[in-house]
Structure 1
Amino acid sequence: MDSAASEKSIIALDGWLKSPAGIYVREWEQACLDELTANIFGYNAVQVGMPQIDALAANRMPNKWQAATRMSNLDELALAAGNKQIAVALDFAELPFASQSLDLVVMPHVLEFAAEPHQVLREVERVLIPEGQVIICGFNPASLWGVRQGVRRITRSPYLPVAGEFISMPRMKDWLKLLNLGVTRSHFGCYAPPCRSTHWLNRFAFMENAGKRWWPYLGAVYMVHAVKRVKGMTLIGPAWNKKSASASQGVPATNRK
């Protein structure tokens, strides 16, 4: 997928997000991201792509950005970004941030529509500080929605944007592991069948709780939460009081009373 095709696929995703299924996904992702990001602390956070949701709404970091490509409509983006600053990049494979400068990166449905998803992920690893965190949202191919999309050649009626290359959860975890991004949590949601109307999606709302209990890995959408691990880095605790330490060393432990 070249960069032009990637831009077209992102535009297709933008249109799909206005559909009943797209609104259903956005509502679930917003609620889940609010919960995940509320207690992540630091100074700098960025949301890459998909300004239709405010992935950093519940986060309290002082500096928050919305990353966009040069093809984005900046007027609409500024309205959607709210209180976030806008950072414009040539594409998401070249983020306009210094190395090891960000505490948190959130990427809703970016990798599956990127021309070079591996490079985008490497770029995220570059800009994260040690122990920085990344949250990735994606469509789950091992779901009813994924199966429905897989038979689009027969039905000639795709349910999800056609241009996306949907990445399974195990595959995503492998990509993250190669970059020393250790997965700490994962979440699945949107268990309703691939209905096209709001009425029927609401009728199957009961499947959210049932899905979490009985078939938790078959949700249409997943989130992966990972932390950047740096080999050889050790945490340093507070220095001990030298006087008390030397006093305790003067008496052997077996003779203390």
Structure 2
Amino acid sequence: MASETAIIELAAWLQTPPGRYLLAWEQAQMDAAVVDLFGFHALQLGLPELPGLRSNRMPHRWVALQHPEQAQAGALAGPGVALHCEFDSLPFESGSLDLVVLPHTLELAHDPHQTLREVERVLRPEGRLVILGLNPASLWGLRQNLGQVLPGGPRIYLPQDGDFIGYWRLRDWLRLLSFDVEAAQFGCYCPPLRSAAWLERWAWVEPIGGRWWPVLGAVYFIKAVKRVHGMRLIGLERKRVARRSAAPAVAVQQQHKEQGP
């Protein structure tokens, strides 16, 4: 379970100008991604400051929190029922959820592999997974690294706690768990600036960055689907067998027609 200090630090950073800039981009992507996802049960793990399920219309929606103080402090900003649980041991039956949203959840997880395995367990076949993560291969990630390793270097820009997982590394994890990535996008190409005024002045770089260096955005967004290989192959195989068995009969009938009485 992530430490309460790390969660508080992230929540405080999201109130800064770069944090609000990041949160606005993420909210727009999340709203567009989940609005047309249908089912009955949806779950968001962590970061109640970003209401990831607010545009979704599933009847049962939960926001799981690692510390109950988050809900008591009124941090739950969107629709859904808050519950307190450990992310690596979710209180849901296997294959019971249609959608799981992970906004920076894996970065703060004590064991991100186990958290992702637990998410795979509770998702039904063809269930959807949406992930948001900070990109270490970006200007923001570079400044963060310089602030951590260079004495007297630039101040740390992002929250200090957390393991920022690279995009390609996360795709490998998803592939091992039989997830197919349906869509991926990067965003927030402004330099690591601290003031809202300077971030606004650099807004022109957003479309340019998305076109010319797309994988260098400060944050990435992944939409994946859980595949259970072989489930739909059974029906397809039956159809192929039926076609193969029917083909000789059709050929024999055609041959009789050509030969005549």
With normalisation by structure 1, the TM-score equals 0.88
Question: 2:55 aligned with 1:58, yes or no?
Answer: yes
Pick from 126, 136, 147: which aligns with 1:152? 147
Separation (CA, whole Å) in 2 of partners of 1:209 and 1:22 = 20
Residues 156 and 203 (structure 1), Cα distance of their counterparts in 2 relative to 1, 3 Å cut: closer
SS at match of 1:130: strand
Question: 2:78 aligned with 1:82, yes or no?
Answer: yes
Q: 1:80 Cα deviation (Å)? A: 2.3
Q: 1:81 Cα deviation (Å)? A: 4.1
Residues 152 and 253 (structure 1), Cα distance of their counterparts in 2 relative to 1, 3 Å cut: farther
Contact in 2 for aligned 1:7/1:71 (Cα 8 Å): no
Separation (CA, whole Å) in 2 of partners of 1:138 and 1:82 = 20
Contact in 1 for aligned 2:22/2:188 (Cα 8 Å): yes
Pick from 19, 27, 32: which aligns with 1:35? 32
Contact in 2 for aligned 1:55/1:106 (Cα 8 Å): yes
Question: 2:126 aligned with 1:128, yes or no?
Answer: no
* Alignment match, 1:26: 23
Pick from 209, 219, 228: which aligns with 1:221? 219
Q: 1:194 Cα deviation (Å)? A: 0.3
Gaps of 5+ in 2: 240-245
Residues 213 and 98 (structure 1), Cα distance of their counterparts in 2 relative to 1, 3 Å cut: same
Q: 1:54 Cα deviation (Å)? A: 1.2
SS at match of 1:188: strand
Matches within 5 A, 1:230-241: 230-234=228-232, 236=235
Separation (CA, whole Å) in 1 of partners of 2:71 and 2:87 = 16
Give the counterpart letter for 1:57 in structure 2. R
Gaps of 5+ in 1: 241-245
Separation (CA, whole Å) in 2 of partners of 1:34 and 1:207 = 23
The share of aligned pairs that are identical, in percent, is 48
SS at match of 2:3: helix
Q: 1:156 Cα deviation (Å)? A: 5.4
Q: 1:75 Cα deviation (Å)? A: 2.5
Q: 1:70 Cα deviation (Å)? A: 3.5
Point out 4+ residue stretches in structure 1 off by more than 4 angstroms. Answer: 253-256
SS at match of 2:141: helix
* Alignment match, 2:176: 178
Contact in 2 for aligned 1:45/1:104 (Cα 8 Å): yes
Separation (CA, whole Å) in 1 of partners of 2:60 and 2:254 = 51
Separation (CA, whole Å) in 2 of partners of 1:95 and 1:222 = 25
With normalisation by structure 2, the TM-score equals 0.86
Deviations 1:91-113 (A, max 9, x none): 21111211111000000001011
Q: Pairwise CA RMSD of aligned residues?
A: 2.2
SS at match of 2:117: helix
Max Rg structure = 2
* Alignment match, 2:11: 14
